[in-house]
Amino acid sequence: MKDTISDDAVSYWTVHCTPGGSLCDEGQNFVVIVTGSDDVVLRYENSLTAGNGDVARVSAKESDSLVAQLMMIDGLPVLELSAKEGNLDVVLLRKERVHQVVNQGSGNVAVHDGVLVTSGPGLTVSALGSGDVSLTASTITVDDLTLSSQGSGRLQASFSEVKVKTASVEVSSSADATVIVESSAATDSLAVSVQGSGSLCLTAGSSIDTNQLNIKKIGAGDVSLGPRGSCQDAKLTTTGPGTVDAGGIQCKNVNVDLLGNGNVVVQATGTLSGDVYGSGHLKYYGNAPKSIDNVNYMGLVTASPVSSAYHPSGCTAKQFPLKPTDTVEASSSSGGGDSVGEEFSYHVTIDQSNIVYLAAVVFLVALALRWFNESRRRAREEQRQPLVGAGRRVYM
């Protein structure tokens, strides 16, 4: 706070640092944390009138409830923004210097092109409350890309192209996430996780290509990747109802653990292996795998072909807010102010405590099914022993 100074102006407030201070390095990336109940728009502007040490210009209808300050938290420069009455229009004066955005409030946050870093160690965007986060950026070439939505808000990310080492998209509770890449998305490792009743959709205009694909779903949520792509090895773990669709991603080896009454669609050119418990359905898209390996008698023997991969109509981008007033109009026209689009409306809501309970039930059911299969296997072997001892031929 000692390096932070706020100056009042006629139409905006300027957040700037003390020249020569630790917060005033022009090449320093920083974090943006948003709290409060009203909307915030983050955009970049190349202003020729910016003074030495100016970081951002903030405008709001009501200044009494405005918080805009630059500080150090755990050694990281952090720009904290909050508005309780009146939306914030934040003009950043340093291009592509934000490497982390966190929305902890109930208002919506819109991040425009030119704000986020496009290269470097990593980029993280999180929606932790009930507010939405919408972002758009050009080509992303960071090492680690992390997108997460927790709570009841929606995360919408639009990129021109993605070329990263590792990518992670996480959804929990009743939140939703939609990631749209205009051309191609390439990564060495892609991890997708849904816990709860929310949905996650990752789509690319060209293809989604990765060496290692890991999909984990617990609860009634849905996961969709596609419509085209490739991978070397894929690991899918799903419990509960809902659909996991990776049928458009052509992988060499796919391992699936399916427990419950959910549906899984995959595409494997080599080996399709794993376990299936319950009334769920495992289907493969395209040509049949070279081998289908099941561990238990109630396993992948039920795998069947499907004519086309499931691709949800809800995997589309909502209108991106250009100004704070646009977010107000969008909220009022949505009928009741629900920040989650109608295409991602679900009737089942599971909170964090229910997820733990569901996981425990699923684990107990899995143990019971494994015990049943093992008992049946031993019974068959015991029935075969007298016949084998008598030198008879056994027809199975």
Three-state helix/strand/coil letters over 218-258: ECCCEEEEECCEEEEEEEEEEECCCEEEEEEEEEEEEEEEE
Q: What does pTM read for this prediction?
A: 0.79
Per the CB < 8 A criterion, the answer to whether 218 and 194 are in contact is yes
Q: Both ends of the chain: CA-CA distance in Å?
A: 78
**Model pLDDT for residues 122-177, shown as the tens digit of each residue:** 999 999 999 999 999 999 999 999 999 999 999 999 999 999 999 999 999 999 99
Q: Which of 208-217, 234-243, 332-341 has the least mean pLDDT?
A: 332-341
Q: Which of 35-44, 201-210, 313-322 has the least mean pLDDT?
A: 313-322
> Higher confidence at residue 107 or residue 22?
107
**Model pLDDT for residues 18-27, shown as the tens digit of each residue:** 888 878 888 8
**Model pLDDT for residues 186-205, shown as the tens digit of each residue:** 999 999 999 999 999 999 99
The winner for highest mean pLDDT among 200-209, 301-310, 316-325 is 200-209
What pLDDT score was predicted for residue 333? Answer: 40
Whether the predicted pLDDT of 41 surpasses 70? yes
Percentage of the chain lying above the pLDDT 70 cut: 73
Mean pLDDT of 252-275: 93
Question: Cβ contacts of residue 10 below 8 Å, gap of 6+?
Answer: none
> Higher confidence at residue 297 or residue 52?
52
* Residue 176 bridge partners (DSSP): 154, 199
